[in-house]
Amino acid sequence: MKEKIHPKYFPEAQVICACGNSWTTGATQEVVRTDVCSACHPFFTGEQRIVDTAGQVERFMRRLEKKVEIAGQEEG
């Protein structure tokens, strides 16, 4: 095995979520920041909350509204 090619391993790396939840794990970075975790992700919490990343949900809703408008104009 080649020497000096592997990244440094931090056995006590801190993971911090945007919701405020944090825990310790092993990683190649000392601090890992994440947007969602098991404490705030809708799959695990059972909530119907939409996680919006960079306005993707808004763009989808605008496209959906346009589609409904066009369908309404074709019928009438």
pLDDT at 53: 67
Q: What is the pLDDT of residue 50?
A: 63
- Kindly list the distances between the CA atom of residue 18 and the CA atoms of 3, 38, 52, in Å, as whole numbers in the listed order: 37, 12, 13
Residue 61 counted as domain residue:
yes
Task: Judge whether 56 lies within some domain.
Answer: yes
pLDDT tens digit sequence for 3-42: 889 999 999 999 999 989 999 999 999 999 998 888 888 7
Let me know if residue 16 belongs to a domain.
Answer: yes
What domain range includes position 41? 10-75
In a domain, 46, yes or no: yes
4 occurs within a structural domain: no
pLDDT of residue 68: 87
The pTM score is 0.54
Instruction: Provide the pLDDT for residue 49.
Output: 61
> How many domains does the chain contain in total?
1
Asked, for residue 1, whether it belongs to a domain, the answer is: no
Q: Say which DSSP state 39 is in.
A: T
Indicate which CATH number applies to the domain containing 28: 4.10.80.400
Nearest-angstrom CA–CA distance, 20 and 2: 40
